[in-house]
Amino acid sequence: MARQLFGTDGVRGVAGEYPLDKPTTYALGQALGEWARVHGQQPEVVIGMDTRESGPWIAAQVAGGLEAAGVKTRFAGLITTPGVAWLTRTRDFVAGVMISASHNPYRDNGIKVFDHSGFKLPDAEEHALEERAFAVLADPEFRPDPAELTIDPGLDAAYIDYLAGLMTVRLDGMKLVIDCANGAASHLAVELLERLGATVIASGCEPDGCNINLNCGALHVEALREEVLRTGADAGVAFDGDADRCIMVAGSGRIVDGDAVLLIIGCAMKQAGLLRQPLIVATVMSNIGLERALTAEGLQMLRTPVGDKYVLEEMIRRDAQLGGEQSGHVIFRDHATTGDGMLTALRVLSVVKESGRSLHDLASDMKVFPQLLVNVRVKNRRPMDQLPGVLSEIRDAELAFGDNGRVLVRFSGTEPLARVMVEGPDDASVKHWAHRIADAVRTELEV
């Protein structure tokens, strides 16, 4: 049976509306509490959140449900998603809960659940939690009673200590511009980078509950690029709302996305003899240029469906140490169980320092093929094999491109969107086919 609450990245929706209404979030907390009691003696669960105005009440509802099941909670307050995953894995927590909708607007929110391994729960366990949550909601005696939460400031501090301790070089002499998306990294990234010796110019660090990801952060790097150029900074770093992804800007103004990061780090690890397997895991969205650049370096690139969950699964299956997404989710499996924006920035800046090359120079080792992503809002979804007009346009585009292009059409796992990605040898042909295919999607699905 298909899951009803959990999507590809936890439970997500508009805060206050099903499935993120107060009764359902409380019931999910109670279901998780019952699960926790099976998986640990005197179990304790850590809860963290980003800066959305709905975060505190959702956290209180989940904690109330956990406590109703006899499970204690510790509240990390504002912290990143990878921070919650790290705490869950390294401390005596049977599970961790992150309240965040990542890169989505502030009205949205979500619930991500990690088990003690630091990994997101398998699909089967998420389904079991759903079933138990529905049973809790159906109980005529059900009365949600949210918990009162007090922030434990030692939790996020321990995570920053961990990241700083991974660095083998300092960042003295580097001028960095950072954009924290008015999100979870707002009070963490500046502290971390300054501790390591960098001069930091910060923006997107004034969250008000409603401005997370608003024209800032990893999805909107234009202002960051301008500030890097204006200040003559060595690099810029942009995070998304929960800081599990990172997009960088070179001092030249060049955008350095997750593909470029995979190449920079993958080559550095290979040269240092740190790769157990000569392969990097990416997704179907990664640029052809990355695949060709890695091949030239003797590295194989494996593609998975979009989603860091699927990247991680393939990394574990193939014992790969590095994988990620073009969007900036990069997983360093020896150090983290999720994408981690701050760790990604530190790793790239370390390579810059140790190699003596600029970020622009390192990123230039990849020839980027023109790529265009067109999002089409849809009211309903049908399997792709039931969209003959779309399939026809895709076939024509693939024939036109041959080996010098790709087409990918998929439905978003978190939003009511069809995503049309076209990649090819020149901007004109990419734009032509992307819009033809997008128009076919609109026609077939009566947008």
Q: Which residues contact 225 (CB under 8 A, 6 or more apart)?
A: 236, 249, 253, 255
> Chain-centre distance of CA 279, in angstroms?
21
Q: Each residue of 328-355: b (16+ CB within 10 Å) or e?
A: bbbbbbebbbbbbbbbbbbbbbbbbbee
Residue 135: phi and psi, rounded to 5, are: -65, -40
Q: Could you tell me how far CA 35 lies from the centroid of its own chain?
A: 26
Q: Which amino acid is at 14?
A: V
Q: Read out DSSP for 10-51?
A: EEEEETTSTTSSHHHHHHHHHHHHHHHHHHSSS-EEEEEE-S
Exposed, middle or buried by CB within 10 Å (0-12, 13-18, 19+), for 312?
buried
Buried b (16+ CB within 10 A) or exposed e, 133-170: beebbeeeeeebebbebeeeeebbebbbebbeeebeee
d(CA 283, CA 369): 16
Contacts from 129-132 at CB under 8 Å and sequence distance 24+?
129/5, 129/6, 129/28, 129/31, 129/32, 129/35, 130/3, 130/4, 130/5, 130/6, 130/31, 132/30, 132/31, 132/34, 132/35
Exactly one of 54, 100, 102, 327 is catalytic; name it: 102
Rg (C-alpha) for the chain, rounded Å, is: 22
Q: Cβ–Cβ contacts within 10 Å for residue 388, how many?
A: 11
Structure tokens at 118: 């630091």
CA 374 to chain centre: 20
Q: What share of the chain is helix, strand, coil (3-state, %, to 5)?
A: 40, 20, 40
Main-chain dihedrals φ then ψ at residue 359, nearest 5 degrees: -60, -40
Has 429 been annotated as catalytic? Answer: no
Question: 241 with 51: CB under 8 angstroms?
Answer: yes
Phi, psi of 315 (to 5 degrees): -60, -45
Question: Which of the residues are catalytic?
Answer: 102
